Structure 1
Amino acid sequence: MTSKKKASAVLLRPRLYIGPAIAIGPGKIDLLRAVADTRSIAAAARSLGLPYKRAWLLIDSLNAGFGRPVVDTTTGGKGGGGACLTPLGQRIVAAYDALERRLNAEAVPELELLRELAKRPAT
């Protein structure tokens, strides 16, 4: 979905709390998507306007919460370092995407009402 379409649409972007240790929302999911696209935590952070340290802390919180890595990293060297989603990271993004699609499909009447309310002048 393009950012122009997102800006004009009314969308649900859920934030999930899975027990006391895991919180997943649009920011972490967008970061995981960016890591998958750029194959780099630093490049993913730059693309989202995040400091590298913040991006790493978000990924580290997911790693800790799930008890295993969501991103695999390789250290720099002649060819440079890199990062990619682990199978767990890929499954998290896929599950979140499916949930987001389902919620938005099921909530069409309510989302349309909210969009209409936003267009009306105050009475």
Structure 2
Amino acid sequence: MQETPMNRNVEIRMRHWVYVDGVKFFGPGRLELLVRIAETGSMAKAAKDMGMSYKKAWAMVDEMNALGQNPYVVARKGGQKGGGTELTETGRKVIEAYKELNRKLMKVVEAESELLQLI
């Protein structure tokens, strides 16, 4: 019989996405992008912080804006303060809804943690 180590770190990891008409629409990467846009007010800074190209970040935002019921992100034109990017109220609500969904799913995982003792 094989011995098993007593101090093993066994955990469940979970990632989830929202699909619209069978297309992956929103998940951890887009959440992070929206959060960073909210923090920095800049698509370029948000993309750079994530190690992502500006073009890819805009493509993601364009897709969210097109498939969502309302736009999530809007660009501000230049001026005295310069241009920038900001979240709409819908974008802020989507962040909170996704985080709440994540909290609920993690509670389910934690409630089933006795399963980990069997592994």
TM-score range, shorter chain: 0.7 to 0.9
Question: Is the CA contact 1:21–1:65 (under 8 Å) kept in the aligned structure 2?
Answer: no
Query: What SS does the corresponding residue of 2:35 show, helix, strand or coil?
Result: helix
Q: 103-112 or 78-87: which moved more?
A: 103-112
Q: 92-101 or 18-27: which moved more?
A: 18-27
Aligned length: 108
Match of 1:35 in 2: 37
Query: What SS does the corresponding residue of 1:12 show, helix, strand or coil?
Result: coil
Q: Which amino acid aligns with 2:116?
A: L
The structure that has the greater radius of gyration is: 2
TM-score computed with the length of structure 1 as normaliser: 0.76
Structure 1 position 53 matched with structure 2 position 55: yes
RMSD: 2.4
Alpha-carbon separation, structure 2, partners of 1:110 and 1:19? 33
Change (3 A) 1:77 1:11: farther
Equivalent of residue 76 in structure 2, options 68, 74, 77:
74
Of Structure 1 and Structure 2, which has the larger fraction of its residues in helix? Answer: 1
Higher RCO structure, 1 or 2 (CA under 8 Å, sep 6+): 1
Change (3 A) 1:43 1:15: same
Query: What SS does the corresponding residue of 2:25 show, helix, strand or coil?
Result: strand
Superposition deviation, residue 75 in structure 1? 1.9
Superposition deviation, residue 78 in structure 1? 3.8
TM-score computed with the length of structure 2 as normaliser: 0.78
Identity %: 34
Alpha-carbon separation, structure 1, partners of 2:114 and 2:56? 32
